[in-house]
Structure 1
Amino acid sequence: MNFEVIHVSRGDIRLKCGDKHVRVLGEALIASASTEPSYIIYLDSLYNWEVPSDVALTETEKNDVVSTIRKHFQDCGSVVEFE
């Protein structure tokens, strides 16, 4: 699937894929060095689509979301951590 990061806030990241939307909880951090994470993603919050509501994400979709987020932060020159 082709996900796109559409919004990053200090408490979540929102992505879309076509007309579907997903929200992943996380936490923005103040990194003191370029090698430290600037964001932590809480993987246990990644289980359902936000739109359409209450539809479970497949493992492939979850992996695609993680890859998209990782690439987004790499493109910004930041480090993201997943837990």
Structure 2
Amino acid sequence: MIDDMDELHSKLSILGAIDVGIVVVDNDNNIQMWNEFMQNHSGLRPSEVRDKNLFRCCPGIDEIWFQRKMDRVRQLNSRVFIT
């Protein structure tokens, strides 16, 4: 169990420090993960956005466009990468 926790912490550390923005949202578009890159480029800390609606935190995102993307992701049970 300890090895699993160490591995998880290592993976989370890498995801947090990678030089790419990573945002994970749930089915209600509430932010579940917001990495260090996103913090540095948005000025919002993960603790400020966690469990908050993506569109309220990032009003510049075109919600209709994003929802179409997410509908497809959910239908296919896959991931999406957006620039």
Q: TM-score, normalised by structure 1?
A: 0.31
> Rg: which structure is higher?
2
Q: TM-score, normalised by structure 2?
A: 0.31
Structure with greater helix share of residues = 2
Q: Which has the higher contact order (CA 8 A, sep 6+)?
A: 1
